[in-house]
Structure 1
Amino acid sequence: MEYIADRITIDAAVCNGKPTIRGKRITVQTILEFLGSGETVEEILHQYPTLEREDITAALKFASELMNRNYILKTVA
C-alpha cells in the first residue's frame, strides 16, 4: 500500500488499485463525483460517517495535483 498526502492510499487489492481514502473502500473518485453533483461536504460526511473533513480536502488536493501534470494527446490509427 502506498500513502499519498497521508490520507490517500493506493493498494492493488482495494478498489482495483484506485486511490482511496485511508485504505477504506471509499475512492477519491467517489468523493469528487459527490462534490461535482452538488453535494456539500456536510452531506458527504453524513453519508460516510467514517470520513473526516480532512479526507475530503485531501481528495481535492490529490485531484489538483493530477491536473498539475502535462498531458499529450496522440492520434491512434
Structure 2
Amino acid sequence: MKEIFPQVTVDAKVQFGKPVITGTRVPVEVVVGHIAAGDTTEAVMKEYGLTRAQVLAALKYAAKLVGEEMLIAK
C-alpha cells in the first residue's frame, strides 16, 4: 500500500490498484462521481461510512490531478 496523497492510497490488491480512501476500499472515483452527480457530502459520508475529511481528501486529490493535466486547444 502506498500513500499517493494525504488520505489516498493505492494497492494492487485493493480495487485493482485504483486510488482509494486510506483505510477503506472506497475508490476516489466513486466519491467524486457521487458529488458530481449532485449528492451531498453528508450523503456520501453516510453511504460509505466516511468522514468529511475523507470526502474532501478525495475531492482535493481529483482537483490536483485535473490541475496537472495539460490540454491543448485546437
Indicate whether the TM-score tops 0.5. Answer: yes
* Aligned: 1:40 with 2:40: yes
The structure where helix makes up a greater share of residues is: 2
Q: 1:43 to 1:5 in 2, by over 3 A?
A: same
Aligned CA RMSD, in angstroms, stands at 1.5
The residue type paired with residue 59 of structure 1 is: A
The residue type paired with residue 53 of structure 1 is R
What residue in structure 2 maps to residue 27 of structure 1?
Answer: 27
Deviation at 1:72, TM superposition (A): 5.7
Shift of 1:64: 0.7
Paired residue total: 72
Structure 1 stretches of 4+ with a deviation exceeding 6 A read none
User: What is aligned with 2:56?
Assistant: 57
Percent identity, please.
35
Q: Is the 8 A contact 1:10 1:17 kept in 2?
A: yes
Per-residue CA deviation, residues 1-20 of structure 1 (Å, 9 max, x unaligned), is: 11133300011110000000
Gaps of 5+ in 2: none
Deviations 1:22-77 (A, max 9, x none): 1411000000111011100111111122x11000110011001101124367xxxx
Say if 1:21 and 1:27, in contact at 8 Å, map to a contact too: yes
How far apart in 1 are the matches of 2:62 and 2:70? 15
Question: Greater CA radius of gyration, 1 or 2?
Answer: 1
Q: TM-score scaled to structure 2, two decimals?
A: 0.86
